[in-house]
Structure 1
């Protein structure tokens, strides 16, 4: 849908109340041509969550949380923890 808008004296364009408070991206593809898209921003401190490695780890964690708990073999765990990566004891 094409709409005609007039840029006001202050340089502003109203997109309508349905876009009030929204974040938009404005791409100036060439002089006189603007493409406006609604967007959601990600805080820098949360950006790591959107990297493929982090997303994969989060998916594994969510999958693991859905499984019923299992009884642990504490003796086997203790033996595993007492060995260093080269197989020697403490």
Structure 2
């Protein structure tokens, strides 16, 4: 069984219709659902832009996992920097 806690507090809605939830939620996005007149459910959310959704698909996640594993085994070094820059300057092929 998962223990849950409920925090209740009386808040005053300001003249501009705002409610302060506290600094720990500053900058967070929230979803406000009006369940019935005068009853709101406020939940923190993470909004995922449509053009970034592919990053969360299984193939992209697997590719990223492989890339991170490779990077762990192959740490960066600058031993061949000049050679790489010359190769890049020569262009493709």
Post-superposition Cα deviations, 1:12-55, rounded to whole Å, max 9, x if no partner, equal 10001111111111111111110001111112111133356765
Where does residue 72 of structure 2 map in the other structure? none
Aligned structure 1 segments of 4 or more residues deviating by more than 3 angstroms: 49-63
Alignment match of 1:23 (pick from 19, 29, 33): 29
Give the TM-score of the pair, scaled to structure 1: 0.55
Q: How many equivalent pairs are there?
A: 68
Distance 1:7 1:48, change over 3 A: same
Match of 2:44 among 31, 38, 47: 38
Is there any run of 5+ residues in structure 1 with no aligned partner, and where?
64-90
Quote the Cα distance in structure 1 between the aligned partners of 2:18 and 2:9.
15
In the alignment, the residues of structure 2 paired with residue 41 and residue 26 of structure 1 have an alpha-carbon distance, to the nearest angstrom, of 13
Q: Where in structure 2 are there 5+ consecutive unaligned residues?
A: 1-6, 70-93
When the two structures are superposed, what TM-score results if normalisation uses the length of structure 2?
0.54
